[in-house]
Amino acid sequence: MQHHFHPSILREYDIRGTVGRTLGPEDARAVGQGFGSIVRRGGGRQVAVGRDGRRSSPALEAALIEGLVAAGIEVVRIGLGPSPMLYHAERSLKVDGGIHVTGSHNPADDNGFKIVLGHRPFFGADITALAALVARGDVESGTGQVTEANVLADYVARLVEGPPLPPFRIGWDAGNGAAGPAVERLVQLLPGEHHLLFTDVDGDFPNHHPDPTEEANLAHLRTLVAEESLNFGVAFDGDGDRIGAIDAHGRVVAGDQLLAILAEPALRAQPGAAIVADVKASATLFDRIAELGGRPVMWKSGHSNIKTMMHEVGAPLAGEMSGHLFFAELGGHDDALYAAVQLIRAVGASGGSLADLRDAMPDVVATPELRFAVDEPRKTAVVEEVLARLTAEGASVDRTDGARVTTADGWWLLRASNTQAMLTARAEARDPAALDRLVETIDAQLAASGVVRAR
């Protein structure tokens, strides 16, 4: 079987495209047979398969399984659920790998595949090698089989293992994504009072798009928290691996702020440990980790990058601005439902409220993530041009992932997006005037390379 994937679907961290345009069942079948071949050549036999709630997911799942079976793989179908449930199944069922059919937080007509092999992320060179193997037709053939496993109850029970949880009044917004049924089951195991929004799975996402990093998508949750006088609210993306949060005053608690809160119990349990965060995170987070006696590690954005670094430095905890939070006790995987439970524990241990923890954080102002559309081949070149100019100017630059520049006003970041034909930027400063100066610097650097930000 030879098959050439549309170039745009082979991302650094997963395989993702627009259904009917760049991604279809034939691609899913090829992914299945290619990945199945890699598993078999590594001495494995079994692969767990799950899916999210998008309209296209059942057909892609069926084709993916066809490909795996054609490679001689024993497929264990776990059905509809969040990506973290697939990661749980891949560990607990003792299979050799796993694939979740999901478009994550992308538009409703997108879809794709998140892959794990031997409890580790399958990304970058792994995906390139899979595509090359399929293009050559260098695949295994055989007659596999399909069984089913219901892991939802076991997955949710795992989320609440440990000491009793404190009772809070919490709002939960699943955004009609795949986390909905798990959230419904989870709150039955929690003390306190729980108010649910949009837990019915609907691939059209009729209420709001399931991306909690966009503040507009938290409007329903903010209203619920206010109307019911709740302690706080949490929201999830389309496949339940990114978390957003709102405190009792309706303020967004960003991904790096959540990581700062969770770092305290993590470092209490493992003093001096490394905590990993991506280059978009606030300087106040890295300062807080150090203040707590931990070792702050700044690393490249992208969940597979963060997972890999986490393993390298033995970190108990890691996170990204995008709301991915990673836990060593979950094998280094990101799980937004588990993050919500750990947030409940951390707020309870603090003796105060989430709003109190938010109030105690240093006062800085920051931009949201700024996006600049560029052609795919051009985005990396622009970053290199900016780096060359900064070097010539003698600027203080961290090159971990693009350019993170520290000045007297604060810091700014410019990097190439891992998943889109975009440059992304962010800045943080001590006051609005300083922030304006940093944003002007970003705009000027991009203008020098012929890129103008849409206002």
Confidence of residue 207 (pLDDT cuts 50, 70, 90): very high
Residue 124: its pLDDT value, please?
87
Shared domain check, 184 and 138: no
Percent of the chain with pLDDT over 70: 100
Last residue of a domain, one of 151, 181, 215: 151
In a domain, 156, yes or no: no
Tell me, what CATH number does 392's domain have?
Answer: 3.30.310.50
What local confidence, expressed as pLDDT, does residue 1 receive?
Answer: 72
Same domain for 263 and 316, yes or no, is yes
Predicted confidence (pLDDT) at residue 89 exceeds the cutoff of 70? yes
pLDDT at 121: 86
Q: 208-257: per-residue pLDDT in tens?
A: 999 999 999 999 999 999 999 999 999 999 999 999 999 999 999 999 99
The answer to whether residue 161 is domain-embedded is no
Mean pLDDT of the chain: 95
User: Does residue 187 sit in the same domain as residue 233?
Assistant: yes
Amino acid 10: pLDDT: 86
Q: Which residues pair with residue 334 across a beta bridge? A: 326
Are 105 and 24 members of one domain?
yes
Identify whether residues 185 and 110 lie together within a single domain: no
Say if residue 40's pLDDT is above 80: yes
Output the six-digit token pair for 117.
Answer: 């092999």
Residue 342 maps to a domain? yes
Instruction: Region of 11 please: left (phi>0), alpha (psi -120 to 50) or beta.
Output: beta
The pLDDT, as a whole number, for residue 167 is 98
In a domain, residue 247? The reply is yes
Q: What is the pLDDT of residues 94-122, one digit of tens each?
A: 999 999 999 998 899 999 999 999 998 89
| Domain annotation covers residue 158 | no
Residues 67 and 20 in one domain: yes
Confidence of residue 454 (pLDDT cuts 50, 70, 90): low
**245 and 328 part of one domain:** no
Whichever domain contains 194, its CATH number is: 3.40.120.10
Q: How confident is the model at residue 455 (pLDDT cuts 50, 70, 90)?
A: low
* pLDDT at res. 437: 97
Summarize pLDDT for 268-285 with one digit per residue, the tens: 999 999 999 999 999 999
Same domain membership, residue 380 and residue 432: yes
Same domain assignment for residues 193 and 110: no
Verify that 411 and 384 share a domain, yes or no. Answer: yes
Domain-embedded: residue 369: yes
Backbone angles phi, psi at 280, to 5 degrees: -80, -10
Domain range spanning residue 374? Answer: 365-448
377 pLDDT above the threshold of 90: no
Choosing from 37, 56, 57, 104, the catalytic residue is 104
Q: What is the pLDDT of residues 298-342, one digit of tens each?
A: 999 988 889 889 999 999 999 999 999 999 999 999 999 999 999
How many domains does the chain divide into? 4
Does residue 159 form part of some domain? no
Is there a single domain that holds both residue 411 and residue 297? Answer: no
The answer to whether residue 104 is catalytic is: yes
The 3-state secondary structure of the chain, one letter per residue? CCCCCCHHHECCCCEEEEECCCECHHHHHHHHHHHHHHHHHCCCCEEEEEECCCCCHHHHHHHHHHHHHHCCCEEEEEEECCHHHHHHHHHHCCCCEEEEECCCCCCCCEEEEEEEECCEECCCHHHHHHHHHHHHCCCCCCCCEEEECCCHHHHHHHHCCCCCCCCEEEEEECCCCCCHHHHHHHHHCCCEEEEEECCCCCCCCCCCCCCCCCHHHHHHHHHHHHHCCCCEEEEECCCCCCEEEEECCCCEECHHHHHHHHHHHHHHHCCCCEEEEECCCCHHHHHHHHHCCCEEEEECCCHHHHHHHHHHHCCCEEECCCCCEEEHHHCCCECHHHHHHHHHHHHHHHCCCHHHHHHCCCCCEECCCEEEECCHHHHHHHHHHHHHHHHHHCCEEECCCCEEEEECCEEEEEEECCCCCEEEEEEEECCHHHHHHHHHHHHHHHHHCCCCCCC
Looking at 252, 282, 304, which one is the last position of a domain? 252
Q: What is the mean pLDDT of residues 151-176?
A: 98
390 vs 394: CA distance, rounded Å: 6
Per-residue pLDDT, 13: 78
The better pLDDT of the pair 397, 120 is held by 397
Which of 185, 217, 252 is the endpoint of a domain? 252
pTM exceeds 0.75: yes
Give the per-residue pLDDT at 135.
96
Both 47 and 137 in one domain: the answer is yes
Q: Is residue 400 part of a domain?
A: yes
